[in-house]
Amino acid sequence: MLKLNALVAGSTGYIGSQLIKILVKHKYINIKYLCGNSSVGKKISFFEKSLSNKKLPKIIKFNKRLLKDVDIIFTALPNGEAQDISKHLNKNNTLIDLAADFRLEKKIDYQKWYKKEHRAVRLIKKSIYSLPEINRNEIKKYNIISSPGCYPTSILLPLIPLFDKNLVKVKNVIVDSKSGYSGAGRNVHKKYKSKNLYESLSAYGLGFHRHNAEIDQQLKKFTKKKIEVSFTPHLTPMFRGILSTIYLDLEKNVTPKKVIKLLSNYYKREKFVKILKFNTFISTNDVINTNNCLISVCKSKFKNKIIILSAIDNLIKGGAGQAVQSLNNKYKFPETTGLI
C-alpha cells in the first residue's frame, strides 16, 4: 500500500505526541521525520511512554531540506514558527498547522492579537481555516491547512448552524468554557507556577483571549452576520477535555425542540458530532480520548432562552484529531481513518 510520508514538527508537546499516537494507526501515513529543538537525539517514547513499542525515527532538528522527502508537514509549534516553514514548501507539500499562524485572514488582526508581525503574509490567502464538518468540500483545494483552536471548535460547531438559520439572536451570546491544563502545553507548570493546577479553577484572558478573534471571524464568515459573543475561558484541575456552556436568546417563535431538530438534521451524517436528547447533562469524561463533539440543548429558567453544552477532547477534536480529519478530507481518505 502506497503511503504518504509525514514530518511532525513540535513532536514532543502534548498535541504533537497525541498526533503521533493517531498517525501510527493511520494506514496511509508513514512517519518519516520527527522534529524538535531541545529534544534532538531522543526517542519520542521518552515523552510518551505509550509509543515505546512503535518503530519511530529519533527526533532531529528541522531543516528545509527535509521537505523534499515528505508529502505532509504537521506543525505543532509555538505561534509564528509555521510561517517560516511555509515559505520553503514545494508543490508536493501540504502543511497542516495546529497553531494559530494561518487562522486569521488579516495580517493586522494577527498583529493585534498575537503581538507580532506575520512573516508569511502572501500565503494567508493560500490557506484555509479547516472545520471539516462545516467546510470539508473546500479543504482539498489548499496546501496550507489551518486547524481551529480547541475552544473555538467547541463553540463554532453548535453555533454556526443556529445563526445561519436565524434561530437565535446575535446579541448577548455568552460562552463560558473550561479546559484541562494540557491546553496550555507542557510548560503549563512553569507558566502557572503560582497557581495550584491540581486543586484550583482559574479564569484567564477575560474579554481579550486570542480565540475571540477566531470565533468572531468564523461566525461572520460562515453566517454573514456580526455576532456579539462574550467568551471567558477557564483552566481546570484536570489534564484534558473542554466543556463550553453557551447561553443564547431564541428568536421569536423558536422553541428548543426546533433548535434540536435543526442541529440533528445538520449533523445527521457526521461521524464525530453527536446531538443528544433535550436537556442531557454531559461531561468531559464522555469525550476523552475520542474525536467526538457532544452537543446538548438544555432548558433555561427563562422561556426565550436556551443553554447549550458542548464537550470535546482538546487534544483530539480540538487538536490532533481534527488535523487528521482535515488530512483525510484533503487526500480523500475515509474521514474516520486513524480516528476510530
Q: How far, CA to CA in Å, does 259 sit from each of 150, 158, 161, 295? A: 24, 10, 9, 11
φ/ψ (deg, to 5) at 310: -135, 125
Q: Is residue 336 in a domain?
A: no
**162 shares a domain with 111:** no
Please report whether residue 340 resides in a domain: no
Q: What number of other Cβ atoms are within 10 A of residue 266's Cβ? A: 20
> Does the structure show a pLDDT above 90 at 185?
no
Instruction: Output the domain CATH number for residue 158.
Output: 3.30.360.10
**Which pLDDT does position 199 carry in this prediction?**
85
What is the number of structural domains in the chain? 2
Tell me what pLDDT residue 80 has.
Answer: 95
Cα–Cα dist 181/241, whole Å? 9
Find the domain containing 306 and state its range.
Answer: 151-314
Looking at the DSSP bridge assignments, the partners of residue 295 are: 275, 310
Set of cell numbers at residue 174: 455568552
Count the Cβ atoms, other than its own, within 10 Å of residue 28.
17
257 and 295 housed in the same domain:
yes
pLDDT per position as a tens digit, 48-77: 999 998 899 999 999 999 999 999 999 999
Would you please indicate which residues are annotated as catalytic (active-site) residues?
Answer: 150
C-alpha dist (Å) from residue 284 to 173, 197, 281, 289: 22, 17, 11, 10
Count CA atoms within 13 Å of residue 68 on its CB side.
Answer: 3
Clarify whether residues 226 and 131 are in a common domain. no
pTM, entire model? 0.96
Helix, strand, coil share (%) of the chain residues, nearest 5: 35, 20, 45
Q: Are residues 24 and 157 in the same domain?
A: no
pLDDT of residue 101 exceeding 70, the answer is yes
CB atoms within 10 A of CB 265: 11
Calculate the alpha carbon distances from 216 to 69, 109, 134, 155 in Å.
Answer: 38, 11, 16, 11
Determine the Cα–Cα distance for residues 281 and 287; give it in Å rounded to an integer: 13
Residue 289 covered by a domain? yes
Is residue 99 domain-shared with residue 24, that is, in the same domain?
yes
Question: pLDDT class for 340, splitting at 50, 70, 90?
Answer: very high
**89, 40: one domain:** yes
Helices (H), the chain: 14-23, 81-86, 107-114, 132-139, 150-164, 188-191, 211-223, 256-266, 321-330
